[in-house]
Amino acid sequence: MADGTPTPAAFPLPSSIAVVPGTEAAQAAYPYYTRFVPEDDGKFWFYNSMHFPEPMHHFDMITAEAAYVALGAFNTRVHVLPTAKGIEHRVINGRVYIGGVAVTDPVEIAERVGEFQQRAFYYYEHWERLYDQWKDKMKALIADAQALPTPSLPKYEPLETTHSGKGVAANHDLLVIYQQQIEGYHRMWHHHFEFLLLGYGAYMTFFDFCKKAFPEISDQAISRMVAGMEAEIFRPDEEVRRLARRAVELGVDGHFTDNMDIEAVLAELDAVGQPGKDWLGELETSRNPWFNVSSGDGFYHYHRSWNDDLSMPFAALPGYIEKIKAGTNIERPTAQLIEERNQLVSDYRELLDTDEDRATYDQLIGLAHRVFPYVEGHKFYCEHWYTNLFFNKIREFGALLAENGFFGPDGAEADVFHLTQYELESAIIDLMLAWGIGSEPRGPAYWPAIVAQRKAAIAEWENHSCPPALGNVPDAIDDPAINMLWGITRENLDKWLDDGSENDMELKGFAACSGVVEGTARVVKSVAEIGRLQQGDILVCQVTNPTWSPIFQKISAAVSDIGGSMSHMAIVAREYGLPAVVGTGKATVRIKDGSRIRVDGGRGVVTILEEAPEPLLEAAE
């Protein structure tokens, strides 16, 4: 400033973020309502690296759009949360930024409180019955997706079409199948949010009570009071551990080695006799349904399910087998967590002074224990099982379009994901027209250059980092979900803005799971890099998710850029007893791969002890 006063640290405005040169057309292809406009400079936005840590292919943006359509509806219109409505989203250079819509008018808040109580309290009262009903709805939706036929176009309609008086040709079926897929995907997200925010809400109410009743209590102590849960999303890793035990019991464990050729191992097991066949039978039991989880978090088409790509579970087998043979317990420490949970609940209850406070405490913790399994369990059905089916169905359309030349002579079915959901429907209609008319479609001359352009843009965007937040930092962030799930608080934003002048060798975040560990930092910025992890490494990532659980046997601690005390990474770290710090804002940027670091999961502090040397530049030829 002109008077010599230092300019306060601030995040850049959305209008200051330029589109990476050469990718302008790819940026412009995202729907108009997802692009920043000048008015957005007056709002606060943060990069949702929790769900979208990599640049988004154009079709994959449906995962953000459908989610925020449903989230907004349930927050704003269905459950009527008193102080928070929906979430706005924007995309720039393939990166998704979001911002909450808060309710600040006291009159509107009071009105919404009345609505919320009528709606949410009914769900809380009838939670088990409604949750069982929810599972039935999700299983029916999954069955509907599985029943959709593979899109195809015959040379001629079968005689049955005319003899039965069906009156509808095969090209119309393409449109029906596609639109049913899109509708089903949107419906899945509505089911997803039917319970989720109510689950968080029950915990947040208990959290607020504890903060007022016990001023010195830590966030981590409160979160440990709901640890030791049983949820479907942990079952896939349990199945991998079961398969490791069965391999040892059947005497076929020697077939599982690091960097194994999975297809060769499966063939060997089939050929070695009954023990091998028995293990393969156990594998099939695990695969259906428990391997219907993706290697990511369900937002990218290329994060394939374990059933589509067995690399993740098979990579975990050698480590589990080694531990079993050494007599090491490989189970999740659920019993210990429950014992600690019960002790904490009891200890803090004794500190309350009145019978009224103790009754309220008992009611709130009881409700949190009833509803909390949904907070993680739903992911198995929604982001994983159903979403994998959805993406695989879209691949079938990609295969049909590729077969008809829409992506050029070297095109592949995966090229379909470079089209937006709206462009894909237009390409399908182009093919419908051509098949019906008996002419050539226009797509083969139109789409190859666009697909090539967008492939190049995605590759270029991957080379560019992005600010963790944009716009004006609000004085307070009152949305409890944004606080606890993403870790976005005013205090944490100030840490993100810290230029390191206080201590450039230290990062601060949320204390997710206690424990102090020193080790080698392994910076992992995508699912594809998981294989770089070595035994004892400290995982440094933008975010992790429950389906990475099989790799937790390798790592000694974890650090993330984003996440709060109730983020998926924090929950999973507690369930596995893994020291962790979440929500540091910039760990993947500040910490160099191979550096020696210390993680203090009890204090929420990461210290760089020794920085890795810069990689040597290759000599010019």
Q: Which pLDDT tens digit goes with each residue over 14-73?
A: 999 999 999 999 999 999 999 999 999 999 999 998 899 999 999 999 999 999 999 999
* Residue pair 506/34 in contact by the 8 Å Cβ criterion: no
Q: Could you give the maximum distance between any two Cα atoms of the chain, in Å? A: 88
> Each residue of 397-453: pLDDT tens digit?
999 999 999 999 999 999 999 999 999 999 999 999 999 999 999 999 999 999 999
> Each residue of 151-194: pLDDT tens digit?
999 999 999 888 998 899 999 999 999 999 999 999 999 999 99
Read off the pLDDT of each residue in 540-563 and give the average, rounded to a whole number: 88
> Each residue of 222-264: pLDDT tens digit?
999 999 988 898 999 999 999 999 999 999 999 999 989 999 9
| Predicted pLDDT of residue 249 | 98
- Rounded CA separation 149/178 (Å): 10
Structural domain boundaries in the chain: 232-335, 502-610
| Predicted pLDDT of residue 1 | 37
Mean pLDDT score across all residues of the chain: 92
| Predicted pLDDT of residue 418 | 98
Mean pLDDT lowest among 264-268, 273-277, 501-505, 602-606: 501-505
* Residue pair 87/56 in contact by the 8 Å Cβ criterion: no
Cα 187 versus chain centre, distance: 18
- Inform me whether the pLDDT recorded for 565 exceeds 90: no
- Inform me whether the pLDDT recorded for 619 exceeds 90: no
> Each residue of 210-223: pLDDT tens digit?
999 999 999 899 99
Q: Tell me the CA distances in angstroms from 226 to 20, 368, 401, 449, one per residue in order.
A: 45, 7, 49, 53
- Inform me whether the pLDDT recorded for 2 exceeds 60: no
Mean pLDDT lowest among 79-83, 349-353, 487-491, 553-557: 487-491
pLDDT band at 499 (very low <50, low <70, confident <90, very high): low
| Predicted pLDDT of residue 502 | 64
- Inform me whether the pLDDT recorded for 549 exceeds 60: yes
- Tell the burial category of 572 from Cβ atoms under 10 Å away from its Cβ (0-12, 13-18, 19+): buried
CATH number of 502-610: 3.50.30.10
Beta bridge partners of 586: none
Q: Is 192 helix (H, G, I), strand (E, B) or coil?
A: helix
| Predicted pLDDT of residue 615 | 63
Mean pLDDT lowest among 158-162, 326-330, 335-339, 349-353: 158-162
> Each residue of 97-152: pLDDT tens digit?
999 998 999 999 999 999 999 999 999 999 999 999 999 999 999 999 999 999 99
Q: What is the pTM of this model?
A: 0.92
| Predicted pLDDT of residue 48 | 93
Cα 160 versus chain centre, distance: 46
